[in-house]
Chains A and B, each alone.
Chain A
Amino acid sequence: MSHNHRPSRRRFLEGLLGSSGLLALTGCDRLSQTQWFPRVLRSAEVLNDRLHHLLGGPDALAREYSEADLSAQFPSNGTRSPQDPEYQRLRANAFRDWRLEFGGLVARPMQLSLEDLRALPSRTQITRHDCVEGWSAIAKWKGARLSALLEAIGPLPSARFLVFFCYDSLGRSGAKYYESIDLEDAQHPQTLLAYEWNDEPLPVRYGAPLRLRVERQLGYKMAKYLNRIEVVDSFDGINGGRGGYWEDRGYAWYAGI
């Protein structure tokens, strides 16, 4: 078969540009589906984590704002009201029977009531909450300083991470939410086990009775509806092995960026 007309050079160039662009895009989608390529991409996550930790020690504080900066509407993301029957029973009784279990690789495991937590050294801070989706909102948080509690509980020399287990579950699988941070972040002065939001007891939609605040990381690190904290040397064997609910679904464990 032969054609009488030759395609113009211009049309050829246009076609080449268009199809190579499309090819490149499908190529990106294919690469995203492989095992190896996302692993290569994740090397940047390790680099960011190391570099950021080198730059910012315990003295680098997240900016604190004034009362005038508070968000009029603070969004509630993820779970707004946990369906777990045990949680609902505890909630019905205003969390008087709720206890935080704090154990694992520690010298003195504890069970703490809300009263116990309120008696610990506390901190109040007005900070910006940055969601991985891109929005930011400002609120006032009061809570027990995790560093003080850690000192009392005595992590063993092998301790490396704190894993936070929660009452809420997300998604169709019904998997329970959980998160983890390292000891350095746990000892940061702004890291709190928060029980108050804007001067009122922590509302259910924001994680009652107790949630984590890790101010230098994104919102998904700040687990709500805390049930238990376990000090571990590795989170490889826990659930998906990536250290958190969203981490098991592809998000970065280090969420400082």
Chain B
Amino acid sequence: MPETGHETAAQPPLVMGYRHRLPVRITHWLNLVILAVMLGSGLQIFNAHPSLYWGDRSDPGQAWLSIEARRTEGGSLRGVTRLAGYEVETTGVLGVSAGRDGAEARGFPAWATIPGPRWLAMGRRWHLFFAWLLVLNGLVYVTYSLLSRHLTRDLLPSLPELKGLGRSLREHLSPRRLRAQSTRGYNPLQKLAYLVVVFVLGPLVLLSGLTMSPWLDSVFPVLLDLFGGRQSARSIHFVAAFAFVGFLLLHLAMVLLVGPVNHVRAMLTGRLQIRRSSQ
């Protein structure tokens, strides 16, 4: 133990503890880049037909979500988003936003799509290439987690932890307690969130994506039954993608809450600064 001087009188000493092993760190950051590309290129593809339906067909007027551009009497374009019968004007972001030559009709804006300009063929290339990287990265992570017991030791909540979910939820309301807890390992809610993302959301987004392939539908017709049709699969794929975005925002908020420098550094170097007594 290094000598930490008189600080010890008031507080336990700060030490660096090993938190994240190299394979976890590498797959974590790769995943961030891959998911960003999948989302951007996915929105590019969505923009080619910015409406979502249930079932096998995309019947006109039957979309549960549609992002439209309408021309007003004055001749200008108005972006309108319709969700389950309700309409909201979304000009500037959804339906109509800035293109190369002023406002243009497009589902999601250029800053959210890969590539920026309308370019379906290129968006599909990015998406279908990075989909393989996402699967490979996911397989590496899951295989490593199983073999190294990262899954059983760090991610699977114990029975008492599951029983104490309410307590864990209350802990999330106090940043101070959450910060103290965060250096002891993943908390039960956090464990569940990671497990849901890896073992529910991941397979869901992959399978719903594959269901949109007419070739794979012929090889595995069960995919169509599983999702209730190709257009349903497209809807679920979209919702799952935004569930990833939701997780990402929550994840970011938690990191900011419990100490961004300490935790981002830990995900880069593996080492987390912790109070000795909390070990």
What residue in chain B is nearest A247 (Cβ atoms)? Answer: B121
Please give, as numbers and ranges, the residues of chain A lying within 8 Å of B57 by CB-CB distance: 69, 71, 128, 136-138
B230-A40 in contact (CB<8A): no
A133-B218 in contact (CB<8A): no
Interface string of A93-113 (1 = CB under 8 A from B): 000000000000000000000
Contact residue among B120, B126, B131, B132 (Cβ-Cβ distance under 8 Å from A28) = B126
Kindly name the residue among B37, B48, B57, B212 whose own CB sees the greatest number of chain A CB atoms within 10 A: B57
- Chain A, interface size category, equals 35 or more
**A133 CA / B221 CA spacing, docked (Å):** 22
Is residue A204 contacting chain B, with contact meaning CB distance below 8 A? Answer: no
Give the Cβ gap from B169 to chain A, nearest Cβ, in Å: 27
**A26 CA / B114 CA spacing, docked (Å):** 9
B218-A134 in contact (CB<8A): no
B215-A43 in contact (CB<8A): no
Is residue A132 contacting chain B, with contact meaning CB distance below 8 A? Answer: yes
B46-A256 in contact (CB<8A): no
Interface size in chain B (residues, C-beta < 8 A): 43
Please give, as numbers and ranges, the residues of chain A lying within 8 Å of B215 by CB-CB distance: 52, 56, 216-217, 256-257
Give the Cβ gap from B61 to chain A, nearest Cβ, in Å: 9
**A13 CA / B46 CA spacing, docked (Å):** 31
Please give, as numbers and ranges, the residues of chain A lying within 8 Å of B131 by CB-CB distance: 44
Please give, as numbers and ranges, the residues of chain A lying within 8 Å of B119 by CB-CB distance: 32, 250
Give the Cβ gap from A169 to chain B, nearest Cβ, in Å: 19
**A171 CA / B18 CA spacing, docked (Å):** 60
Q: Name the segment of A60-68, A150-158, A160-168 touching the other chain.
A: A60-68
Kindly name the residue among B115, B119, B234, B260 whose own CB sees the greatest number of chain A CB atoms within 10 A: B115
Please give, as numbers and ranges, the residues of chain B lying within 8 Å of A131 by CB-CB distance: 49
Please give, as numbers and ranges, the residues of chain A lying within 8 Å of B40 by CB-CB distance: 25, 28
A136-B218 in contact (CB<8A): no
What residue in chain B is nearest A130 (Cβ atoms)? Answer: B214
Contact residue among B46, B117, B125, B219 (Cβ-Cβ distance under 8 Å from A60) = B219
Give the Cβ gap from A13 to chain B, nearest Cβ, in Å: 7
What residue in chain A is nearest B126 (Cβ atoms)? Answer: A41
A window 200-257: CB within 8 A of B: 215-218, 246, 249-252, 256-257
Contact residue among A43, A65, A72, A252 (Cβ-Cβ distance under 8 Å from B124) = A252
A13-B58 in contact (CB<8A): no
Kindly name the residue among B129, B132, B212 whose own CB sees the greatest number of chain A CB atoms within 10 A: B129
Please give, as numbers and ranges, the residues of chain B lying within 8 Å of A47 by CB-CB distance: 132
What residue in chain A is nearest B131 (Cβ atoms)? Answer: A44
Interface string of A107-142 (1 = CB under 8 A from B): 000000000000000000000101111111110000
A24-B230 in contact (CB<8A): no
What residue in chain A is nearest B41 (Cβ atoms)? Answer: A28
Is residue B36 contacting chain A, with contact meaning CB distance below 8 A? Answer: yes
A29-B116 in contact (CB<8A): yes
What residue in chain A is nearest B229 (Cβ atoms)? Answer: A136
A window 21-80: CB within 8 A of B: 22, 24-26, 28-29, 32, 38, 40-45, 47-48, 52, 55-56, 60-63, 65, 69, 71-73
Contact residue among A42, A56, A132 (Cβ-Cβ distance under 8 Å from B218) = A56
What residue in chain A is nearest B36 (Cβ atoms)? Answer: A24
B125-A130 in contact (CB<8A): no
**A133 CA / B56 CA spacing, docked (Å):** 15
A32-B122 in contact (CB<8A): yes
Is residue B231 contacting chain A, with contact meaning CB distance below 8 A? Answer: yes
Is residue B85 contacting chain A, with contact meaning CB distance below 8 A? Answer: no
Contacts A63-B224, A133-B120 hold; do A216 and B214 have CB atoms under 8 A apart? yes
**A43 CA / B128 CA spacing, docked (Å):** 10
Please give, as numbers and ranges, the residues of chain B lying within 8 Å of A69 by CB-CB distance: 56-57
Contacts A24-B36, A128-B230, A249-B121 hold; do A138 and B56 have CB atoms under 8 A apart? yes
7 contacts between A and B (CB under 8 A): A26-B116, A28-B37, A56-B215, A134-B48, A246-B121, A257-B214, A257-B215
Could you list which residues of chain B lie within 8 angstroms of chain A, going by C-beta atoms? Answer: 36-37, 40, 45-46, 48-49, 51, 56-60, 111, 114-117, 119-122, 124-126, 128-129, 131-132, 212-219, 221, 224, 230-231, 234, 260
Given A132-B48, A216-B215, 9 other A-B contacts at CB below 8 A? A44-B128, A128-B230, A133-B48, A136-B57, A136-B231, A249-B121, A252-B128, A256-B215, A257-B213
